[in-house]
């Protein structure tokens, strides 16, 4: 970018990266943007700020966003002997482009999302462990759960699973009672469970259960994609 625009674009990326964490579910009170003091700045930096998360041990860095100015391209030019400046024909200016570097770490970022999502509550008087992960981060978006192992439910269950798999990462679970299966899905953060029961064979409707509220609604199989799609857009 042109040198005169570096500060503007640095501010832009500070806002974009901070907003990315908020959008994916980290509460604002557990995030902060900390600008480096002059004596902290790396030798190449014209300005750096860290997105920090409130971990159990205190505030710690999730991501650094640095205005590296023209350090990178000048270093490459010196090492290669090639000129790496740019001529802008619209302004008749020649300059070495400046660089903004957002630098996030996948491991610490996922740890922050897990810590922010982890919760313990009660459902029907029983303790529950739940991960309130955004559906875009959850290992599975939907779990398809036949109420019983009986063969009579298998054809419709497979139809539902086949309908959903092109659109969502799906789990299939038939082991133990439906309550225990709900709890397992809550623990791994699956936002929605779809239960196929014996009434489904008559009315071609299934039960959609929401992880966070535990509310359940009956939905026709033909309207299932629309129902889940509307939930995913919220």
Greatest Cα pair distance, the chain, in angstroms, is 76
Tell the CATH topology of 124-233.
Rossmann fold (3.40.50)
pLDDT confidence bin for 43, thresholds 50/70/90: confident
Q: Which residue has the tokens 């999502």?
A: 117
List, for residues 147-192, the tens digit of each pLDDT value: 998 889 999 999 999 999 999 999 999 999 999 999 999 999 999 9
Identical topology for domains 3-104 and 124-233: no
Q: What phi and psi values does residue 9 have, to the nearest 5 degrees?
A: -75, -30
Q: Indicate the domain borders of the chain.
A: 3-104, 124-233
pLDDT at residue 146 above 70?
Answer: yes
Q: Note whether 121 and 87 are within 8 A (CB).
A: no
CATH superfamily assigned to domain 3-104: Bira Bifunctional Protein; Domain 2 (3.30.930.10)
Provide the percentage of residues in the chain whose pLDDT is more than 70: 100
pLDDT of residue 234: 60
| SS3 of residue 171 by DSSP | strand
pLDDT of residue 124: 84
pLDDT of residue 137: 96
List, for residues 80-130, the tens digit of each pLDDT value: 998 889 999 988 999 999 999 999 989 999 999 999 999 999 888 889 999
What lies within 8 Å, CB to CB, of 138 at 6+ separation is 131, 169, 188, 189, 190, 191
Q: Quote the tokens at residue 217.
A: 């609604």
Cα–Cα distance for residue pair 18/33, rounded to 1 Å: 8
Name the strands in the sheet holding 58-69, side by side, starting at the edge strand that comes first in the sequence.
31-35, 47-55, 58-69, 99-104
Pairwise pLDDT comparison (54 vs 43), residue with the higher score: 54
What lies within 8 Å, CB to CB, of 91 at 6+ separation is 2
- DSSP 8-state symbol, 37: P
Planar angle of CA 70, 71, 77, nearest 5 degrees? 90
102: left (phi over 0), alpha (psi -120 to 50) or beta: beta
Q: Note whether 53 and 16 are within 8 A (CB).
A: no
Q: Note whether 83 and 53 are within 8 A (CB).
A: no
Q: What's the pTM?
A: 0.88
Cα–Cα distance for residue pair 222/15, rounded to 1 Å: 41
Provide the percentage of residues in the chain whose pLDDT is more than 90: 82
Distances (CA, A) of 194 to 156, 168, 205: 12, 12, 10
């Amino acid at each position: 970018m042109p040198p005169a625009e570096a500060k503007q674009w640095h501010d832009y990326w500070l806002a974009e990266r901070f907003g990315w964490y908020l959008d994916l579910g980290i509460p604002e009170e557990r995030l902060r943007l900390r600008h480096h003091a002059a004596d902290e700045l790396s030798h190449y930096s014209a300005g750096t700020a860290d997105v920090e998360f409130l971990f159990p041990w205190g505030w710690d860095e999730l991501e650094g966003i640095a205005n590296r100015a023209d350090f990178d391209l000048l270093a490459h030019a010196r090492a290669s002997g090639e000129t790496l400046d740019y001529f802008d024909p619209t302004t008749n200016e020649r300059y070495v482009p400046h660089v903004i570097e957002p630098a996030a770490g996948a491991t610490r970022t996922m740890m922050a999302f897990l810590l922010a999502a982890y919760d313990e509550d009660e459902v029907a008087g029983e303790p529950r462990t739940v991960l309130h992960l955004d559906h875009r981060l959850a290992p599975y978006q939907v779990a398809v759960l036949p109420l019983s192992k009986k063969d009579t439910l298998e054809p419709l269950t497979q139809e539902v699973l086949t309908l959903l798999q092109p659109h969502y990462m799906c789990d299939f679970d038939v082991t133990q009672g439906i309550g225990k299966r709900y709890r397992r899905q809550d623990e791994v953060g699956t936002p929605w469970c779809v239960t196929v029961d014996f009434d489904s064979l008559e009315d071609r409707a299934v039960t959609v259960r929401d992880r966070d509220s535990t509310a359940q609604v009956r939905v026709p199989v033909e309207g299932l994609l629309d129902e889940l799609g509307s939930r995913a857009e919220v």
